[in-house]
Amino acid sequence: MTFAQIILPLNLKGTFTYKVPDVYLDEIEVGMRVLVPFRGKKIYTGIVTEIHQNAPEIFIPKEIISILDEFPILPNEQIRFWNWLSEYYLCNLGEIYRFAFPSSLKLESETYLKLKPNVTVDFELLEVNEMYLIQALEVRQLINLTEIEAFIPKKDIVKTINSLIDLKYIEVDEKIAEKYKAKEVAYLKIEDSVLKRNLPEILVELKRSPKQQELFLSILEKQTEHPEKPIRKSEIFAEGNYASTQLKSLSEKGLVQEYYLQKDRLEAYSGEMEELEKLTDSQLVAKSEIDAAFATGKNVLLHGVTSSGKTHIYLEKIQETVSEGKSVLFLLPEISLTKQIVQRLEKKYGKQLGFYHQKLTDFERVEVWRKVKNNELKVVIGTRNALFLPFQSLGLVIVDEEHDSMYRPREVSPYFNAKDSALVLAKTYGAMAILGSATPSVETYYLAKKGKLQYVYLGERFGNVKLPEYQLIDFKEAQDLKRVTGNFTTEVTEEIQNELHQKKQIMILHNRRGYANVVECESCGYVHYCSNCDVVMTYHKFSDEMKCHYCGQKATKPKFCPKCHSENLNVRGVGVEQIFEEISRIFPEAEIDRMDVDSMRKKFAYEKLYEKIENGETDIIVGTQMISKGLDFDDIELVVIPKADALLYVQDFRAEEKAYQLITQVSGRAGRISGKGKVMIQTYNPHHTVFQLIKENYSLKIYDHFLEERRKFLYPPFVKLILIELKHRREEKTNRASQFMGSILRKYLPEECILGPEKSPISKINLLYQYQILLKLPKGKKYSEYKNLVLKSFEEFDELPAYRSIKRIVFVDF
């Protein structure tokens, strides 16, 4: 008797044992997908992780219904990687599976199918099951696997579905994914077949509708002028000359085609491939250091100051890897900030380059998945979920902007740090890895210092351009000298004025959304709290509403105090909207734009503003941390941080590190070409160590400072942190559960390892109360021992059924 261990897409511990039917004995392999029954009538797509002969003793396994793949879909390396993730981050394999696979590769009973819009089905070519399914779908739009069982034998269901998906007749309905739908842009084109027709003939056809004729001609003109340049629909309608009905008639007549492209693929390049530029001397040195490290099997931290040309070096290493016949994974924190690297790689690799990120539709994901599986892609640019692609022979993994916190978002499960995981993935594939950043995380820097990573430093800007100069401005002193307007010192406004005169652009960083942090009643001190969360709501003047930044709830701004009915409501806490308003008042002549999540919410708002800045139509850009990423413009020379202290006063042991990273990153936008970059930092504490060290701009010293602090107060990289969060709708229950958890942990672990339980800093989010316990565990051998004890504690906790409704989230290395 042969059995198989199967991962199911459920948040349950471990794998499940199924019996392999004799007919499948020859076919089944580890890494294949199988269809299995679970809990009565449910069907899931599982993954085989093990095939063995050990009959389970305490239950009777069910049989595998069918095998879905001819060949394993998941490489062994990935299975090992999943196992590592599950053990290291204390999460279930099922969660990883769910996160890793595009949904149409893991059909389950609740997966809904639908007919693709506007398809004509050729029934002649369909086999009987396929026909049944199409007919059923014609009657009702959505149908799920359980329902299909009524008319197709279980065994054949998935085969039928897959074949119809391949024929492009049906698709998987994305109920949840709808929200994240990739942004698409409408384009227009005139088909070749139309172009071949005789033009006067077409014009005669359109004689009776002159507007259509005009529209057709204008599209034709654009298309003939720049045959490679796609024509945006919005571009045609922007001038307001045409109505959409006219376009509609043209497309009905088959003269003009409307089609859609992914926003990220706008730059899709179809021209000839480009050779790489030569490396500069300092880049050559860095590259040879990388080569030497790789030769000894050591991965690299590439610490390159802003504009030092890390990208050049990446490109060089990518090319080497590809020419060895291996593929490359290039990780980015977010897909939107990729213009330069994407353009350059696209020119070089054309069709052998793929993108994989959270915003793709399921269909697009499967496409990339398939290509990676077939080894058609040499280079994949992607966000953290690209770690799970079925690479065949990975040779190099690059993690760009390795310090970026987007590599470990706290809100999506499973919780893992993509930067650390990338190193493990590389190792399982026998690939090398480069972590790159202008401001490495303290942990990574420490690894390099310890020699676990090779430290490669690029301290020179490309073209030997000077680094920006920092100026610390004592705000208190300026106030005393009455040289202050609102949140700006005269020194700063004069400098801005000066830059404006020289037609240079200015960036102002203020990392706080909205207009005001707090709306407060002057008479009784009442402040407006979110009804779902334990946080004050932020006032957004632009949209004139109160927003909760944690649950997204919106409310109207109160006109009077609900408690004492006083109309004396005041706002406190400066947000970016206020800074924007102020600067607009001080410089009424200047063109000023604001860039933050709230102002960039509209479709293409980001692209539009990007273009505007690039064209030099914007003088001053006011924004949150968003402006520190991906905006490389030549004419920015001045960066102002009016309220820099706000960056430091955050309840987070990484606050100083993050402040340093943010300030350095945004400063990197200044003087990239001219070398005359200047950064003005207004602060009440000009003598604060962090500001002083930033001003000195000597990175070794600042990292030593951070490391010293971390060592003193026992934080990573000197200890391992595990944060346990317990959540429930009822506060009392959450509190009791956390006390109970604390007492169990204290049974097994030394007292000094356990902090809490205590209320989380934000004690309620989305109606759930939160308590937390922070574990500070020693590194090294002891760590795995202690971690097992933590697991044991969890098991003990779970034995008490009363607390089973408590949600538990565990962050390892948080």
Per the annotation, binding residues are 521, 524, 530, 533, 548, 551, 561, 564
Q: What is the four-CA torsion angle of 127, 129, 135, 141, rounded to 10 degrees?
A: -120
What are the tokens at 393? 């022979």
Name the one range near DNA by CB under 7 A: 7-15, 188-196, 595-603, 699-707.
7-15
Q: What is the 3-state secondary structure (H, E, C) of 534-593?
A: CCECEEECCCCEEECCCCCCEECCCCCCCCCCCCCEEEEEECHHHHHHHHHHHCCCCCEE
Q: Which helix (H) or strand (E) holds 611?
A: helix 605-614
Per-position x/- string for 747-786, each x denoting binding to DNA as judged by CB under 7 A, each - no binding: ----------------------------------------
What are the tokens at 409? 């978002």
Cis peptide before 717 (omega within 30 of 0): yes
Round to whole Å and give the CA distance between 549 and 209: 52
Name the one range near DNA by CB under 7 A: 59-67, 467-475, 569-577, 751-759.
59-67
Pick 175 or 711: Cβ nearer DNA: 175
Round to whole Å and give the CA distance between 370 and 348: 22
State yes or no: residue 809 binds DNA (CB under 7 A).
Answer: no
Which listed residue (2, 42, 350, 535) binds DNA by CB under 7 A? Answer: 42
Which listed residue (62, 183, 189, 347) binds DNA by CB under 7 A? Answer: 62
Which listed residue (2, 12, 633, 676) binds DNA by CB under 7 A? Answer: 12
**What is the separation of C-alpha 182 from the centre of its chain, rounded to a whole number of angstroms?**
13
Pick 95 or 460: Cβ nearer DNA: 95
Pick 40 or 117: Cβ nearer DNA: 40
Pick 50 or 544: Cβ nearer DNA: 50
To DNA, the closest distance from the beta carbon of 173 in angstroms equals 16
Nearest Cα residue to 677 out of 505, 501, 511: 505
To DNA, the closest distance from the beta carbon of 145 in angstroms equals 12
State yes or no: residue 71 binds DNA (CB under 7 A).
Answer: no
Asked whether the CA dihedral 659, 660, 663, 669 is positive or negative, the reply is negative
Report how far apart, in Å, the C-alpha atoms of 642 and of each of 65, 467, 488, 501 are. Answer: 64, 21, 6, 21
State yes or no: residue 17 binds DNA (CB under 7 A).
Answer: yes
To DNA, the closest distance from the beta carbon of 581 in angstroms equals 43
To DNA, the closest distance from the beta carbon of 675 in angstroms equals 54
Pick 5 or 618: Cβ nearer DNA: 5
Which listed residue (11, 288, 343, 788) binds DNA by CB under 7 A? Answer: 11
Name the one range near DNA by CB under 7 A: 8-16, 111-119, 295-303, 705-713.
8-16
CB atoms within 10 A of CB 211: 15
* Parallel, antiparallel or unpaired: strands 353-356 and 379-382: parallel
To DNA, the closest distance from the beta carbon of 315 in angstroms equals 42
CB 354 within 8 A of CB 336: no
Query: With contacts defined by CB under 7 A, how many residues of the chain interact with DNA?
Result: 21
State yes or no: residue 802 binds DNA (CB under 7 A).
Answer: yes
Pick 11 or 568: Cβ nearer DNA: 11
Cis peptide before 102 (omega within 30 of 0): no
Round to whole Å and give the CA distance between 306 and 190: 44
Strand partners, 396: 328, 432
Which listed residue (7, 16, 484, 777) binds DNA by CB under 7 A? Answer: 16
Name the one range near DNA by CB under 7 A: 302-310, 466-474, 526-534, 799-807.
799-807
Backbone angles phi, psi at 300, to 5 degrees: -125, 140
Name the one range near DNA by CB under 7 A: 16-24, 180-188, 202-210, 740-748.
16-24
Name the one range near DNA by CB under 7 A: 488-496, 512-520, 755-763, 798-806.
798-806
Round to whole Å and give the CA distance between 612 and 341: 21
Round to whole Å and give the CA distance between 738 and 731: 11
Name the one range near DNA by CB under 7 A: 58-66, 123-131, 690-698, 776-784.
58-66
To DNA, the closest distance from the beta carbon of 726 in angstroms equals 13
To DNA, the closest distance from the beta carbon of 184 in angstroms equals 28
Which listed residue (18, 314, 539, 769) binds DNA by CB under 7 A? Answer: 18
Which listed residue (61, 230, 409, 675) binds DNA by CB under 7 A? Answer: 61
Strand partners, 331: 382, 399
To DNA, the closest distance from the beta carbon of 60 in angstroms equals 7
Pick 168 or 804: Cβ nearer DNA: 804
To DNA, the closest distance from the beta carbon of 47 in angstroms equals 14
State yes or no: residue 37 binds DNA (CB under 7 A).
Answer: yes
CB 50 within 8 A of CB 6: no
Which listed residue (24, 38, 242, 606) binds DNA by CB under 7 A? Answer: 38
State yes or no: residue 805 binds DNA (CB under 7 A).
Answer: yes
Residue appearing with tokens 């990574």:
444
Phi and psi based region of residue 118 (left: phi greater than 0; alpha: psi -120 to 50; beta: remaining): left
Q: Which residues contact 125 (CB under 8 A, 6 or more apart)?
A: none
Which listed residue (117, 200, 451, 801) binds DNA by CB under 7 A? Answer: 801
**What is the separation of C-alpha 137 from the centre of its chain, rounded to a whole number of angstroms?**
35
Round to whole Å and give the CA distance between 50 and 34: 12
* Parallel, antiparallel or unpaired: strands 300-304 and 432-437: parallel
State yes or no: residue 10 binds DNA (CB under 7 A).
Answer: yes
Q: Which helix (H) or strand (E) holds 346?
A: helix 339-349
Backbone angles phi, psi at 523, to 5 degrees: -80, -45
Annotated binding residues for Zn(2+), written as ranges, equal 521, 524, 530, 533, 548, 551, 561, 564
Q: What is the DSSP string of 434-485?
A: EEEESS--HHHHHHHHTTSSEEEEE-S-GGGPPPPEEEEEEHHHHHHTT-EE
Name the one range near DNA by CB under 7 A: 66-74, 197-205, 352-360, 802-810.
802-810
Name the one range near DNA by CB under 7 A: 31-39, 339-347, 387-395, 754-762.
31-39
Name the one range near DNA by CB under 7 A: 36-44, 178-186, 579-587, 607-615.
36-44
To DNA, the closest distance from the beta carbon of 134 in angstroms equals 26
CB 429 within 8 A of CB 394: yes
Which listed residue (22, 23, 26, 40) binds DNA by CB under 7 A? Answer: 40
What are the tokens at 379? 């280079």
Which listed residue (22, 53, 59, 227) binds DNA by CB under 7 A? Answer: 59
Largest CA distance in the chain: 89
Pick 38 or 539: Cβ nearer DNA: 38
CB 423 within 8 A of CB 416: no
Nearest Cα residue to 507 out of 675, 636, 671, 676: 636
Pick 59 or 649: Cβ nearer DNA: 59
To DNA, the closest distance from the beta carbon of 212 in angstroms equals 50
Backbone angles phi, psi at 487, to 5 degrees: -100, 10
State yes or no: residue 54 binds DNA (CB under 7 A).
Answer: no
Residue appearing with tokens 């520190």:
628
To DNA, the closest distance from the beta carbon of 151 in angstroms equals 21
Per-position x/- string for 93-122, each x denoting binding to DNA as judged by CB under 7 A, each - no binding: -----------------x------------
Provide the binding-site residues for DNA, judged by CB under 7 A: 10-12, 16-18, 37-40, 42, 56, 59, 61-62, 110, 801-802, 804-805, 807
